[in-house]
Structure 1
Amino acid sequence: MPVRAAAPLGAPIWIDLSTSDMDRAQRFYAEVFGWTFTSSGPEYGGYVTAAKDGHVVAGLMPKHPDYDGPDGWITYLHTADIDATVAAATAAGGTNCGGVMDIPAKGRMALLTDPADGFVGLWQPGGHRGFEVVDEHGAPAYHQLTTRDFGAALDFYRQVFGWQYETVSDTDEFRYATAMFDGAALVGVMDGGQFLGAGTPSDWCVFLGSDDVDKTIALIVDHGGSVVRPAEDTPYGRLAAVADPTGAGFNLTSLER
């Protein structure tokens, strides 16, 4: 299992789950992906770090009692200067959600929405460098933004994070681009303008790797999760959309693509 030294600047560096049931979430992800968990203690608000084969892959945190939104996964993008990135994001039409937070001995974080209400995090690493493995069973493998405003999203992430794109398709039926980092497509941007309902925000989604998508789906259902979109073979591997027992959605992708 190759251990990643660092995420490219502007690329996804961390994921965490905001959940209304920490105990149930840990049981679920342990059974489905074999994750193990370490609590950061009360000084970190009950935050729990998940590891796969001894290498950190994700975080879990109790959903704030004043937040009435659904449980969900958050993708964080790598920045070397979070204050400058927040300033650039707001200048480009984004919205900062609560300012920058210092996490002692770990790094600095912020949350923002892009101009089409895509909700994404920022992480400036200190002692915590983000997920250590990718493209493994139960580890992050890909990230996708489905956006209500495709052109505005491309402009925003290019301006704020320096993303460079390759066009996959540019038709009214399917408009998609990938953000490239050191030659690797790590993020996809999909035009969701035709199927995201009025008032529905743009959506960031994480894809977790699976050695066998169909078997992983069976485990998900057996342990209280659900299937949002059944598995299908695509040019990019076998894919499915699923949710954990409290409704937090994520995608599965086969590792042989």
Structure 2
Amino acid sequence: MNEHEKINYVEFPSKDLDVTKRFFQDVFGWTFVDYGPEYTAIADAGLDGGFFKSDQVVSTANGSVLVVIYSKDLEYTQSKITAAGGSIVKEIFSFPGGRRFHFADPNGNEYAVWSDLG
């Protein structure tokens, strides 16, 4: 449901949409709907969004917003990310209320995964 003045969609750059779709499908089980050769929409990700063809990348080092994904098993999710071709940008660390790590997808975009368990 669309709510007045609430965030309901996010978009990310992607150097290679096929690589992006395969990575997020393998790691998180997301599905996609293609809208032409330069855009794909995300489904089953918790928040609607999409990836657009671009040579740009998002990273906290260049001031980008950080999208954070929840996991019930941080180490397991981290192992799936590296097995699928992602890289760890910041190793697991604790913060008040949980633990998290940052990773880059195969295109170089930075995200984080957090857990309030363990």
Instruction: Return the TM-score normalized by structure 2.
Output: 0.82
For the pair shown, the structure with the greater C-alpha radius of gyration is: 1
For residue 56 of structure 1, report the CA deviation from its aligned partner. 5.8
Match for residue 51 of structure 2? 60
Match for residue 96 of structure 2? 235
Match for residue 73 of structure 2? 212
Match for residue 49 of structure 1? 41
Aligned length: 118
For residue 253 of structure 1, report the CA deviation from its aligned partner. 1.4
CA distance in 1, matches of 2:62, 2:76: 31
Percent identical across equivalent pairs? 28
SS class of match (1:250): strand
The C-alpha deviation readout for 1:121-180, integer Å capped at 9, x for no partner, is xxxxxxxxxxxxxxxxxxxxxxxxx7xxxxxxxxxxxxxxxxxxxxxxxxxxxxxxxxxx
* Structure 1 residue 72 corresponds to structure 2 residue 63: no
Q: How does 1:32-47 map to 2 (within 5 A)?
A: 32-41=27-36, 46-47=38-39
SS class of match (1:205): coil
Q: Contact between 1:19 and 1:72, CA under 8 Å: does it hold in 2?
A: no
Greater relative contact order (CA < 8 Å, ≥ 6 in sequence): 2
The C-alpha deviation readout for 1:161-215, integer Å capped at 9, x for no partner, is xxxxxxxxxxxxxxxxxxxxxxxxxxxxxxxxxxxxxxx7433111112221211
Structure 1 pair 47–225 and aligned structure 2 pair: CA distance change class (3 A): same
Q: Contact between 1:227 and 1:241, CA under 8 Å: does it hold in 2?
A: yes
In angstroms, what is the RMSD of aligned CA positions? 2.7
Q: Which amino acid letter does the alignment assign opposite residue 16 of structure 1?
A: E
Q: Which amino acid letter does the alignment assign opposite residue 44 of structure 2?
A: K
For residue 21 of structure 1, report the CA deviation from its aligned partner. 0.7
Unaligned runs of 5+ in 1: 74-145, 147-199
The C-alpha deviation readout for 1:87-141, integer Å capped at 9, x for no partner, is xxxxxxxxxxxxxxxxxxxxxxxxxxxxxxxxxxxxxxxxxxxxxxxxxxxxxxx
For residue 8 of structure 1, report the CA deviation from its aligned partner. 5.9
* Structure 1 residue 15 corresponds to structure 2 residue 10: yes
Q: Contact between 1:49 and 1:56, CA under 8 Å: does it hold in 2?
A: no
Q: Contact between 1:208 and 1:252, CA under 8 Å: does it hold in 2?
A: yes
For residue 59 of structure 1, report the CA deviation from its aligned partner. 0.6
Structure 1 pair 207–8 and aligned structure 2 pair: CA distance change class (3 A): farther
For residue 27 of structure 1, report the CA deviation from its aligned partner. 0.3
